[in-house]
Structure 1
Amino acid sequence: MTAAPERAGGALRIDRLVTSGTFSLDGGTWDVDNNVWIVGNDEECVVIDPAHDAAAVAAAVGGRKLKAILLTHGHDDHIGSVGDFWDLVQAPIHLNQADWMLWRNLYPEVDPDADISHGDVFDVAGSKLKALHTPGHSPGSVCFYLPGNGATEGTVFTGDTLFRGGPGATGRSFSSFPTIIDSIRTWLLPLPPGTVVRTGHGDSTTIGAEAPQLDDWIARGH
């Protein structure tokens, strides 16, 4: 597990915490590393996808006010530790309602606190995170866009929708390759080319680095 601050200008900062665990698919289980993103300043923050290690994520939040737990989608490697994390921090959990059926596979007795709709804005540390509904990897997949501040062109937290080198996997139940391509084309690629893409797994990239590859992704079919 590693943690490294990534500055985003001004008082706002973006912290990346890499946690390790497993995910399950079609009866199999695989090891996986997840990126947990903490966006805020010294006083308050939001957490995007507190995966695997609830105690480590809570420690990274520290004494700050946690305004929201934002989930990019409902697959088990991203939400499996949310219950334990909530027990430690008791902040509202937000998940697009199209993925609540995935949530209920793990938490059948309690729903998230709030739906995430396209265009919803989350205020944190004087900045605004805008939710973009980007289905395809799952029906309720959401990205969170943080506009630039003049010195930068901003960043977008893409969960498993867009990675360095292509879209997220669409071999799981309720996934769709044409849908994820449409989501990326419509909502992500029009962002400024310098926008940093901070992903759910692996290294970051930029919109400008990924946009020219769209036709290649479509041709290969994944």
Structure 2
Amino acid sequence: MTSGPGPLRVDHGVTSGTFTLDGGSWDVDNNVWVVGDESECVVVDAPHDADAIAGVIGERAVLAVLCTHAHDDHVGAARELAERFSAPVRLHPDDDVLWRQSYPDFDYQPLADGETIGVAGQSLQVIHTPGHAPGAVCFYVPSLGALFSGDTLFRGGPGATGRSFSSFDVIVDSLRERVLTLPSETVVHTGHGPDTTIGAEAANQAEWSVPSR
């Protein structure tokens, strides 16, 4: 668990399953992040296992299931969580083409670039960061000095761009123009694997000649 000022905190879990796209399937471990206080929270990504995510949530009210993007390993438990906790799923509409591969008949509420999402008296800021997926977003929490990057930024560089609906040039532009401008000490909570910081990744930009994963 990572603690922040005031009542807001970040709880972390890991779920395991598969990522399927373009006719291939891969075993993956995904991070799930729950941001809130003792009474309410939002869930950042809903990978694989609703029961495991519910264990991280506990008895809290869920205000929303926030999706960094719509690849199936990040939204596989979204509908079940939303129905279990009577919470909306929020997704940037540019990822509708990917969402419909998992949920052709279940709707989400659209996220907008620059929107703020309130929880426990604090705000998460939506930053549209296309590249890994057209509707990929990051969630920035100034009061925690934290960014939830999904698969846009990892320790070591940008997320994968070798599959449908992705672009390496676009993800690099998103990172350089919209993400690496955040304070260097900002902690980056990623969609897979360990945390990093904005400063550490900004220092590695010269190595971003090919997708890192």
Aligned to 2:62: 66
Instruction: State the TM-score, normalized to the length of structure 1.
Output: 0.92
Aligned to 1:142: 137
Aligned to 2:77: 81
Aligned counterparts of 1:34 and 1:135: Cα–Cα separation in 2:
20
1:159 aligned onto 2:150: yes
Provide the aligned C-alpha RMSD in A: 1.2
1:100 aligned onto 2:91: no
CA contact (8 A) 1:58 1:88 kept: no
Compared with structure 1, are the counterparts of its residues 28 and 220 closer, same or farther at alpha carbon in structure 2 (3 Å cutoff)? closer
Shift of 1:210: 0.6
Aligned to 2:203: 212
Aligned counterparts of 1:99 and 1:221: Cα–Cα separation in 2:
20
Gaps of 5+ in 2: none
CA contact (8 A) 2:22 2:164 kept: no
1:117 aligned onto 2:112: yes
Q: Percent identity?
A: 54
Instruction: Choose from 40, 44, 48 the match for 2:40.
Output: 44
Aligned counterparts of 1:64 and 1:148: Cα–Cα separation in 2:
21
State the number of aligned residues.
Answer: 212
| Larger CA deviation: 102-111 vs 196-205 | 102-111
CA contact (8 A) 2:31 2:193 kept: yes
1:201 aligned onto 2:192: yes
Shift of 1:30: 1.2
Gaps of 5+ in 1: none
**SS, match of residue 110 in structure 2:** coil
Shift of 1:213: 1.0
Shift of 1:81: 1.5
CA contact (8 A) 1:36 1:50 kept: yes
Aligned to 1:24: 20
Shift of 1:221: 5.3
Letter in 1 for 2:84: L
Instruction: State the TM-score, normalized to the length of structure 2.
Output: 0.96
